[in-house]
Structure 1
């Protein structure tokens, strides 16, 4: 199945799966909702747009770096006049001086993921073009979390999921190690291994502001052992390795 590779890395990422207003969680890796949202934004789709074609795509996520979980302290609604303060459950407004809502927002700091996107060739060509010249810029779960580098890192692949076994890893090589292990999350049952299974409510059927909805699906997670030579490092080492990989793709 033809496909592409996307790479998501940055100082902060956040991929909520069951958030409430005052407690905004993050999953340990990008959700289907976040990935479809990135592609929809790149294509310039409005929130009320039909997602049926994007929902046919298959995503396979390799965790290059799991990052560090952190919680940020936020307040919402403070200092506003009463008619603009946070609404209460009964539809009224809170009094001035009592309108500030404290929230906790969860993030993954310094994480990196390489995502294989496989699907219909016509659709893959469409999202490839969109990622090269996005209508709206991509972000890593929240608008305040921009990617640290290019999102589209490999194109024209016969099997994008299989390419995850040879594409450079965005991490330092452990001293003295000949192999490294990585987690790989699948949205379809893998053909080998004994995956851990998680039930997630992250398969979007609508991004409409007033009718957002998601289906529950199963995430399958396996562990993959790769040569330590694939560890490309960070900073300029990673940039050079990425450029070399893209040069090989161009000449192939």
Structure 2
């Protein structure tokens, strides 16, 4: 088995698992259905395609930068009648960074990595209004399992966040990983994709286990010199 690591970062993200009608909420970390949908889009698959091969991949995510919750109100009009639609409430995570990972056969993950470099459909972070700010694929690991890959991957938080915490040699991050049959008490989340077909979307329950991971801070103990006159100097 191999592990494909993804960096999910952008101005806004939204990962809903129980969004209904005019209120569209977001989880505090990427959902499996959202990430599998991103990978299916990169492969150029239509929404009506069977997602079972991708859904069989084991999924995990690490919270590298929690971001800030944002609430937005949106209005719309019916294209045919011009009538106003109900005001919808949308929730997002601003300035968040996550490391997501899927574990599966090497050949399948290698194809996914190549698809992310040249996606069939543009990837987005939960919603179409949430584009990524940089390339998504980090690396493909053949020597580690899912837990170890998420525990040891370099901290991917933004530069300003690493500078802000530069006095910390190591930082503790939350890891959420798909539970297996040997895990004890776990939480459940309805984000196991069964169908992305707009006419009949279906999601199942899956177990999620949470644990902390401590990683080095690459900015630890670095000196930061602020010179307000630097913009006045000529090259």
Q: Secondary structure at the match of 2:194?
A: strand
The two structures have a TM-score, normalised by structure 2, of 0.83
- Number of matched residues? 215
CA-based RMSD of the aligned residues comes to 2.3
| Alignment correspondent of 1:129 | 114
Give the Cα–Cα distance (whole angstroms) in 2 for the partners of residues 11 and 156 of structure 1: 28
The two structures have a TM-score, normalised by structure 1, of 0.78
Q: 1:167, 1:230 within 8 Å by CA — same for their partners in 2?
A: no
| Alignment correspondent of 1:148 | 133
Q: 1:169, 1:230 within 8 Å by CA — same for their partners in 2?
A: no
1:214 aligns with 2:203: yes
How many angstroms does 1:103 deviate by? 1.0
| Alignment correspondent of 1:3 | 3
| Alignment correspondent of 2:231 | none
Give the Cα–Cα distance (whole angstroms) in 1 for the partners of residues 214 and 182 of structure 2: 16
Any unmatched runs of 5+ in structure 1? 86-95, 234-252
Q: Per the alignment, do residues 230 and 208 of structure 1 end up closer, same or farther by CA in structure 2, a change over 3 Å counting?
A: farther
Give the Cα–Cα distance (whole angstroms) in 2 for the partners of residues 220 and 166 of structure 1: 18
How many angstroms does 1:28 deviate by? 0.6
1:181 aligns with 2:164: no
Q: 1:12, 1:109 within 8 Å by CA — same for their partners in 2?
A: yes
Q: Secondary structure at the match of 2:218?
A: helix
Q: 1:17, 1:26 within 8 Å by CA — same for their partners in 2?
A: yes
How many angstroms does 1:76 deviate by? 2.2
| Alignment correspondent of 1:245 | none
| Alignment correspondent of 1:250 | none
How many angstroms does 1:125 deviate by? 2.0
Q: Secondary structure at the match of 2:114?
A: helix
Q: Secondary structure at the match of 2:130?
A: coil
Any unmatched runs of 5+ in structure 2? 223-235
How many angstroms does 1:164 deviate by? 2.5
Q: Per the alignment, do residues 189 and 229 of structure 1 end up closer, same or farther by CA in structure 2, a change over 3 Å counting?
A: farther
Give the Cα–Cα distance (whole angstroms) in 2 for the partners of residues 56 and 46 of structure 1: 18
Deviations 1:47-70 (A, max 9, x none): 111111101111121111010101
Q: Per the alignment, do residues 213 and 191 of structure 1 end up closer, same or farther by CA in structure 2, a change over 3 Å counting?
A: closer
| Alignment correspondent of 1:20 | 20
| Alignment correspondent of 1:76 | 76
Deviations 1:70-96 (A, max 9, x none): 10111122xx57x535xxxxxxxxxx5
Give the Cα–Cα distance (whole angstroms) in 2 for the partners of residues 40 and 187 of structure 1: 19
Give the Cα–Cα distance (whole angstroms) in 1 for the partners of residues 129 and 216 of structure 2: 35
Farther-moved stretch of structure 1 (3-12 vs 163-172):
163-172
How many angstroms does 1:189 deviate by? 4.2
How many angstroms does 1:223 deviate by? 1.1
